[in-house]
């Protein structure tokens, strides 16, 4: 059976990947929806036309990863698309953010993504697409978002290296690096604070980011960056010393509370 496997499918980019795949990829026979929130997954599954398999697991735990492993071994699917969308962030200094959240971001954004990637590799074939959700935060260190940005730098580096390791197999790996996206991500990250003005200015629609990611993935691009502003930012981080960018960012952020 040809399947799409999506982590973090209960909301945001993960849910939108499910909708886009359901609508545009007739070759996919079943979509595996993976996340903690069962009711959200069930609601999404009812919305989709394709058959869905719901796996309500917490990927930040060994039990959650084991559940995915066992299901893969039992079904032995032909994974045509795997979208690793599970992840979260918290805004604030490392000192102010709780121990649980500082380590939790690393556990979910890095460890769980690596584990799922390792588990799905035997079930990918020529033509399969592995989508790894990174972030524009991966492009340079970000004070007040330090752990999240570092975790996404890991995702970007890991994905690009894996792409090279799989060269010649026909398996494509694309790291998706969006800027701010209109999802509930910032409700969790900012905890009710006002989103800083320049993030609101460049906020992208979830549907557009996902469509671009799948388009770039099919083309075999290593990195998918949506929008003129984020592409310019990506180029800027390659041309301008990081400390200079960080100093400008400090000025932009100084009045934000």
Residues in Cβ contact with 82 at an 8 Å cutoff, skipping those fewer than 6 apart? 4, 5, 6, 116, 117, 120, 124, 128, 129, 130, 131
Catalytic residue among 99, 123, 148, 234: 148
Compute the distance between CA of residue 93 and CA of residue 89 in angstroms, rounded to an integer: 12
Place of tokens 């000025």: 251
Compute the distance between CA of residue 123 and CA of residue 80 in angstroms, rounded to an integer: 9
β partners of residue 56: 35
Compute the distance between CA of residue 49 and CA of residue 108 in angstroms, rounded to an integer: 29
Residues in Cβ contact with 30 at an 8 Å cutoff, skipping those fewer than 6 apart? 1, 2, 3, 4, 50, 51, 52, 53, 77
Please name which of 194, 189, 2, 20 lies closest in space to residue 88, comparing C-alpha atoms.
Answer: 189
Q: Is 148 a catalytic residue?
A: yes
Catalytic residue annotation: 148
């Amino acid at each position: 059976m040809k399947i799409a496997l999506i982590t973090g499918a209960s909301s945001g980019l993960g849910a939108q990947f499910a909708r886009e795949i359901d609508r545009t990829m007739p070759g996919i026979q079943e979509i595996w929806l993976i996340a903690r929130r069962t009711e959200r997954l069930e609601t999404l599954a009812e919305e989709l036309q394709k058959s869905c398999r719901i796996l309500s697991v917490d990927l930040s735990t060994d039990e959650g990863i084991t559940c995915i492993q066992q299901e893969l071994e039992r079904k032995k699917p032909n994974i045509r698309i795997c979208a690793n969308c599970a992840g979260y962030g918290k805004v604030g200094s490392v000192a102010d953010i709780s121990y649980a959240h500082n380590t939790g971001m690393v556990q979910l954004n890095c460890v769980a993504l690596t584990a799922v990637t390792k588990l799905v590799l035997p079930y990918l074939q020529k033509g399969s697409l592995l989508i790894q959700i990174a972030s524009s935060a991966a492009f340079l260190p970000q004070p007040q978002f330090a752990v999240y940005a570092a975790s996404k730098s890991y995702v970007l580096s890991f994905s690009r290296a894996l792409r090279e390791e799989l060269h010649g197999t026909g398996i494509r790996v694309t790291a998706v690096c969006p800027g701010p996206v209109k999802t509930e991500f910032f409700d969790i990250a900012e905890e009710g604070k006002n989103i800083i003005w320049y993030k609101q200015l460049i906020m992208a629609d979830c549907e557009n980011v996902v469509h671009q990611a799948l388009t770039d993935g099919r083309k075999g691009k290593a990195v998918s960056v949506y929008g003129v502003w984020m592409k310019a930012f990506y180029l800027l981080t390659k041309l301008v010393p990081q400390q200079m960018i960080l100093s400008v960012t400090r000025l932009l952020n100084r009045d934000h509370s």
